[in-house]
Structure 1
Amino acid sequence: MKTNITLSLDSRRKRKDGSCPIIFRLSHHRKTIAISSGISLPPEYWNEKKREVKKIYQGVSSVSRLNNMLTKKKTELRDGINKLEENDKLNSLSISELKRFLTKTDDTHDFFVYTKHIINELEEANRFGNARAYKSAYGALKNYYKKENLRFEEITYAFLKRFETWHLKKGNSINGLSTYMRTIRAVYNKAINQGLVGVEKYPFKKYKIKSEPTAKRAISKEKIKRILDLELEADTPLFHTRNYFLCSYLMNGISFIDMAFLKVENMIDGRLQYRRQKTAKPYDIKVTHQLSSILTYYLKGKRKSNYIFPIVRRKNLQDQYYDVQWERKRYNKRLKEIAQLCGIEEHLTSYVSRHSMATNLILNDVPINALSKMLGHSKLQTTEIYIKNLPTHIMDEYQERLEL
């Protein structure tokens, strides 16, 4: 899609004095956005055909000089677009990113301000999960660096090491630090791609992000059956918690957020068909007899457009993500109560159902490529992580098979 810049009078934004702003209308990836010229005038003095101010306008000392100034600015913006195109960077930019590059406002060189721009763009695109990750890293860095502004050039190898030390001294985890650092790196890479900071300043050439393997907890089928057999009063918080856990297990380890956004219309001919929130990858899961017996309770009296589970309660999309976030916290808290009632020593979380599903399929000799597809992994290496973290007693059983 060709990128264009045109002069225009924005008649939709008429001011109190009757004038309208002259803007540079930027078109990119089938979207448009306005770049202010700082000039406004009454609509009758704008020549839409020639896209210039009419000579009869008396609001300035020289109309010719004003039109020349606007033409010069338009040429500068066009040159900026051409430069990006020559360097093969144009197509990778969103329209908001392109605008920031072309206008080169001073605040875009500030890491905090620039990160806020990214967060706003993600929220405008309804990518609230990603926005939350950027907010988290932004907040952590703000807590560490007490100053109002942080220029990209100040984020050096030494700066990152000091942030690392500060984070770990507070008793926080290596993996929490890893999440923050990957987000900081992503912001820096975006700024480089937009030409806001030079690649020679890139601190991650030297700084290596650390991480630790997380313990993947899975529970046996016998313990999952204990959860299934648990007698709970219908429509109580623990009743729903038990059902969410079992549904996640029976639906190929579906994530809590994907389960929350499932609608009745996702059930088609005895199958659940949906796209994962995180990756937009399509899933097509058979509704087994056991799964159907749980879903039937939630489907009663609902229309196709209704959510299956009582998790999402509001209409605004951002509010819905907050609903899911809040309910997931309560879900994980109540899973501890479920574990106590069932005599399960393992720490139950929303992820345990997924890891249990994968582990139990591995123990039933399901081929790894089939398991990878069921889990929605694009790489077998990701699925192999589940094999590396099989419980010790299972590895012992495998070893015993060596006996002659």
Structure 2
Amino acid sequence: MKVFKNQFNKKALVCNTFEMNALNDRLKAAKGRIDSFITGLMQVDDAFTFEKLEKFLTAENAKEASFIDYVAKRIDERTDIRETTRKSQRKVVGSLVDFGKICEFSDLTRSNILDYDEFLHGRGIAQPTVHSYHKTLKTYINDAIRHELMTSNPYLGLQFKRGESRHGMYLTEDEFAKVRDVELGNESLAKVRDLFVVQCLTGLAYSDLMSFDFNRVSKVGDSYVIEDRRHKTGIEYCAVLLPEALAIVRKYHEQLPRFSNQQYNMRLKVVAEAAGIDKPVASHWGRRTCGMLLLNHGVSMETVAKVLGHSSIRTTEQAYAKL
């Protein structure tokens, strides 16, 4: 709290302001917490350190925060997750705010979690995404338990199936050709179409496409090869810039256009409609289409896994076995 010099003295503490009673109550409460901390140290004959005090106050402040505030704070504090994961987890916080029944630590009950599950499904969210929301929520509940902010886990005894992703999210070769060749009078739509074609020919995920750097492309014989790690998972991938993809990169002077994920997907749907394709095309369809094109042209499953940066060939087999 901040006050002017004439609004504080050692006896009256905060004075000469209409907020003085409320501010003094806060000061006394803070002093009371520190007094209890020191008394606790004295009772066990433990030495005082500022590090112990800081840890004590951090825990006390966390107890005063709501569960939503606690999760939001921990997401921002963590250094062991990628920025893409951080953004995804913030969506979970937003869903809790919209749900409105899990705000405080006391709201974390079995009944409310079941209602939260129904709430997510009611918004049309696919089961794999719902499962990931529950997984994130469990992570921060366990984190709160470790920090002694909770004593029990409301997820005990509850199981939510992971579900299966929809396997049909790809374009056929004919559909890919229509997208590639469609006439677009809008420059912005043309840029998005070009980016999507690059995705279909390289398997680059949206985040890797947006961070594409031609300086990381190496020439091997007559081919241009991208070797990097996926932003989302950190897994290595290796893909060749086919002549058509290379031509697009050259078209933009080796600096591909950039769009936010929302704007990119929104424009992609317009491009698909202009090409006469009645499918809800989104950025991830580019990776699926790349895998489909490679398999159709006799490329081995092992190579497709390497191109797409899958953690194991089993992931690739599960995704493409039905195509």
Q: Same fold (TM over 0.5)?
A: yes
User: Which residue of 2 is the match for residue 5 of structure 1?
Assistant: none
Match for residue 175 of structure 2? 223
Letter in 2 for 1:267: V
Contact 1:160 1:207 in 2 (8 A): no
Higher RCO (C-alpha under 8 Å, 6+ residues apart):
2
CA deviation after TM superposition for structure 1 residue 247, in Å: 0.4
Aligned partners of 1:101 and 1:195 also within 8 Å = no
Distance of aligned partners of 1:255 and 1:370 in 2 relative to their CA distance in 1, 3 Å threshold: same
Deviation, structure 1 residue 206: 1.0
User: Residue 228 of structure 2 is aligned with which of 253, 274, 279?
Assistant: 274
CA, structure 1 residues 101+280, in 2 after alignment: closer, same or farther (shift >3 Å)?
farther
Contact 1:243 1:294 in 2 (8 A): yes
Contact 2:207 2:232 in 1 (8 A): no
Equivalent-residue separation in structure 2 for 1:335 and 1:141 (angstroms): 29
Of 242, 264, 269 in structure 2, the residue corresponding to residue 336 of structure 1 is 269
The answer to whether structure 1 residue 161 and structure 2 residue 94 are counterparts is no
Paired residues of 2:272 and 2:279 also in contact (CA < 8 A): yes
In structure 1, what is the Cα distance between the partners aligned to 2:118 and 2:274?
A: 41
Alignment partner of 2:231: what SS? Answer: coil
Q: Is the CA contact 2:237–2:306 (under 8 Å) kept in the aligned structure 1?
A: no
What SS does the aligned partner of 2:252 have? helix
Q: Is residue 66 of structure 2 the alignment partner of residue 113 of structure 1?
A: no
Structure 1 pair 381/194, CA: closer, same or farther in 2 (3 Å)?
A: farther
How many residue pairs end up in the alignment?
279
Q: Does 1:310 align with 2:257?
A: yes
SS at 2:47's partner residue? helix
- Say if 2:121 and 2:127, in contact at 8 Å, map to a contact too: yes
Give the deviation of 1:103 after TM superposition.
4.2
In structure 1, how many angstroms separate the alpha carbons of the residues matched to 2:88 and 2:115? 21
1:369-397 CA distance string (max 9 Å, x none): 2222221111233212222431xxxxxxx
1:298 matched to 2:252? The reply is yes
Shift of residue 238 of structure 1?
A: 1.7
Does the 8 Å contact 1:221/1:360 carry over to 2? yes
* 2:210 is the alignment partner of 1:260: yes
CA distance in 2, matches of 1:299, 1:131: 32
Task: Tell me, yes or no, if the aligned pair for 2:310 and 2:316 is still in contact at 8 Å.
Answer: yes
Aligned residue among 367, 373, 378 for 2:311: 378
**Equivalence map 1:132-151=2 (5 Å):** 132-145=87-100, 150-151=104-105
Report the identity percentage. 22
Instruction: List gaps (5 residues or longer) in structure 2.
Output: 6-29, 32-41
Q: Which residue of 2 aligns with 1:42?
A: none
Q: Which of 84, 97, 106 is matched with 1:129 structurally?
A: 84
Change (3 A) 1:167 1:278: closer
Distance 1:184 1:359 in 2: 34
Q: Cα distance, 1:165 vs. partner?
A: 3.0
Residue 232 of structure 1, CA deviation: 4.0
The aligned runs of 1:21-100 (5 Å cut-off) are 72-74=47-49, 77=52
SS of residue in 1 equivalent to 2:232: coil
1:346 equivalenced with 2:293 (yes/no): no
Q: 1:161 to 1:366 in 2, by over 3 A?
A: same
Is 1:185 equivalent to 2:141 in the alignment? no
Shift of 1:168: 3.6
User: Is 1:358–2:291 an aligned residue pair?
Assistant: yes
Distance 1:222-1:267 versus aligned 2 partners, 3 A rule: same
TM-score (norm 1): 0.60
TM-score, length of structure 2 as denominator length: 0.73
Secondary structure at the aligned position of 1:222 is classed as helix
The structure in which a higher percent of residues are helix is 2
Q: 1:184 offset after TM fit, Å?
A: 0.5
Aligned-pair distance for 1:255? 0.9
Q: Which residue of 2 aligns with 1:395?
A: none
Q: Secondary structure at the match of 2:234?
A: coil
Structure 1 residue matching 2:155: 3-state secondary structure? helix
Query: Counterparts of 1:199-214 in structure 2 under 5 Å?
Result: 201-214=152-165
Q: CA deviation at 1:135?
A: 1.9
Deviation of the 1:188 alpha carbon: 1.4
